Structure 1
Amino acid sequence: MMLFEQRRKKVLELAEQTNDALKTIQEVGQKLNITSDTVKKVIETIKIAANSFGDKAVYASAFTGTVGAVGIAANMIATYQGVGELRAIAGHLKSMSETQRAELALAGGTAFAENIYVMLKSKIEKSDPELDWFFVYHPDTDWTYHFEEKLRTKGLLGRNFIGIVHDLDALVAFMSSVRDVYSTRHPRRRPPFFHLVIPAYEPVVIPTPLLIPEKLHPFRIEGDIHRGTYLVWMNLPGVDEKAVQNIGVFQPPRSIWDNIMVQVGLVQTPPPRFLGASAQKIEQPQVPQLPEPTPVAAITAPEPEKGELSSLKASRGSIRRAQTYQDSEAGSTNSSRSHSHRRRRRHRSNSVSYIFT
């Protein structure tokens, strides 16, 4: 009977730990009232580790507010995986053999979850217990079930492990919200260092040109290397070398962008944009507009002096006062007189025209 009670107690403890291993944003925020379907889709891409530094209702509330205000949509960043497809996108991967691909494929699922758990445990043990915060990003979701099982059976990774996410924009928006709240609540404390860990069991390429918001720093994106080749490649124009670790930084060739743009229905290469912000609309080039023509009445010339006027009379003949035409009539009047054999010179003073014949 005593053994049964002990086993029953253990089962209840595991069940309780199961519910607390990873939490949704709504569970973290407790009484969040979210009515927008778009916001719901975005926040569903994030799970926060229970009892971590990120497991605070104020962070969840600030994050949902940011998503609604900025207008972030889920899965707006194209991510490519697999050796065959990526060879066309990144020439750096041409050296990766099919044997390597097979080796990496075997690391998926349970093995991948185990690798992530061990990697995070190692990083956290070597980090500052208060100031190093770890976030995990990967576009796939099938490994997360095995990972949660690891957390249940092997134990949580400590308060430094914040959570997992499947959408980069959502993750960076959450980080930005945490920064805002943290700096407001603890203005005299050192800000925590954000580690964005991107594990991979096969090559991952993100060709969209992305910029890292300044407010994220101190911040670093961390990847892995397999047989001397980066497993994660990103298009990060002007990125600081200190902000990436074991990440291949590249720019897709023009021909590849043309192919990608056709597939998604765009006609131009997207400009670099900040992570955690809504995707910028591609503006069509504007046709330059010619300046409005100056009205005839507004064109004035210096009034001829009396002496000059007398001289002109003598040399050119008599002066007669010409009719003043409206703007709409000026063009047709000049056109009708263009066949005249008489040589004319016109001066205007205010609304009076002098025609010399």
Structure 2
Amino acid sequence: MRVTIRDVAKHAGVSPATVSRVLNRPELVDPATREKVRRSMDELDFQPSAAARGLSVRRTDTIGLIVPGITNLFFNELYAGIEQAASRHGRKVLMFNTENSAHRVLDAFSFMRQHEVDGILYTSETLDENADPLLQRIGIPVVLALTESLAKTPLSAYKVDERRAVFDAVAYLVTRGHRRIGFLGGQMPHDITGQQRYEGFLQAVRHFGLESGEACVEFGDYRMESGYTSMQRLLERQSELRLTAVAAASDEMALGAIRCLNDRGFRVPDDMSVMGFDNLQIASMLTPRLTTVAQPFREIGARAVERLVELTEHPHLSSAEHGVHYLPHHIVERESVRPILDGLDSRP
């Protein structure tokens, strides 16, 4: 026979309402009472259903996760942080893949609303002002990871400072003597990340007075194939550009660039240095191993979940804490960048 909330209440000597609060709003219950109720739950082997736990606050203990694509190599790292943090808080994760389509974003929000998730963790297309009516209508918290919003609705976002990260990547190359640096940018519809990384490159070019500039930039979609074709387009103008290094907007694009350089007879890093962005696991498995900008994917995912849980449990929190929260990036130095001096190899 199934143990009920009333059974637990009788065993613990409290009211059913107190048991319900322990399940749904434990912070409102005195610690000693809370511990007594939980001991009763354990002794009676009480297993609350999602519906039972949500009776008082209409909670399902489910987080909706909207992603742009599960085949992106960074997804596993991000999801690991999300899943671990969700599990710590007793939350399940329900995922929807938008496949990089702005139209499917609307489907994603509709899907999450139908499944009555408590909140949504959003990592897909950039939200603009057109999303405001939708965000107001769904009536549940939304937190962003790896992106930020252009909508007027206050939202919390967790990511790295894209401009600064690319600026630091170029600065790293400059300190190793490179002055002619190409950039393989990521540019997709409604892509604020690609725009910010491109701006970071141009800021570095102006700051260091580099010979390279907009003419040394090609765009792709962050994937390996576009890294290959973008590098190919730069090499078609190499006699004019005379690049010694290339910074890519993703590790996948950097891998594609290295493959293209190898196919065209260039040696990395002897003939061309290549720098990535992300620090995916595969970056350390290549030959040469990839020097890159590391994003803390797991921490970003975990911090976003922590914020979402906080908002679901305290829906009337002040919006003053909303906004973009930058997590630190850093350079991981490996083997794909070599130092040069006045265009010559600095090695003896």
Per the normalisation by structure 1, the TM-score is 0.28
Q: Is the radius of gyration larger for structure 1 or structure 2?
A: 1
Q: Which has the higher helix share?
A: 2
TM-score, normalised via structure 2 length? 0.29
